[in-house]
Amino acid sequence: MAERTFVMIKPDGVQRGLIGEIIKRLERVGLKPVAMKFIRMSREQAEKLYAVHKGKPFYESLIEYVTSGPVVVSVREGPKAIEIVRKIIGATDPAKAAPGTIRGDFALDISHNVIHASDSKESFEYEHKIFFSEDEIVKRERIDEKRLI
């Protein structure tokens, strides 16, 4: 059964022209988009998304950063979507991210690491609802998912 995950291309990824490359990497492994938006995140949305970091020394700069420019938010679907996306994006700290991962190839530092993705089913359930209503998530099937008779 297909699983869903939330993915956000952060302002540095958008500013550096990496949207297409990141989307290509996700689609190449079969993670189909079922919802996607190009938005300017509000402070309220940012505070909800990063509520787990409230009170940490970097919290305020993180909120300022993710609201500083446009982002691309999406819901991706596929078998083991959360696990696969986590492998594709690499470690949060780009110094620890493997070459070939999105962060390993493109992140500048731990604060500007290009991408955010859900790390569990629970975080997906919480995160995607900040940006998408259920009627914005499209049920669709890729041609390569159809069974031939």
Catalytic residue among 53, 112, 116, 128: 116
Residue 144, domain member (yes or no):
no
CA of residue 118 relative to chain centroid, distance: 7
> Which residue range(s) make up the domain with 116?
3-133
What is the phi/psi pair of residue 148, to 5°? -85, 140
Residue 141, domain member (yes or no):
no
Residue 147, domain member (yes or no):
no
CATH at 37: 3.30.70.141
The model's pTM: 0.92
Tens digits of pLDDT across the chain (149 residues): 689 999 999 999 999 999 999 999 999 999 999 999 999 999 999 999 999 999 999 999 999 999 999 999 999 999 999 999 999 999 999 999 999 999 999 999 998 999 999 999 999 999 999 999 999 999 877 666 665 55
Residue 60, domain member (yes or no):
yes
CA–CA separation, 76 and 6 (whole Å): 6
Q: What is the pLDDT of residue 141?
A: 72
* Residue 116 annotated in active site: yes
Residue 138, domain member (yes or no):
no
Residue 140, domain member (yes or no):
no
Q: What is the pLDDT of residue 146?
A: 64
Count of domains for the chain? 1
Q: Which residue has the tokens 């189909």?
A: 32
Long-range contact pairs involving 129-133 (C-beta distance under 8 Å, separation at least 24):
130/45, 130/48, 130/49, 131/6, 131/37, 131/39, 131/45, 131/73, 132/35, 132/37, 132/73, 132/75
Residue 68, domain member (yes or no):
yes
Residue 40, domain member (yes or no):
yes
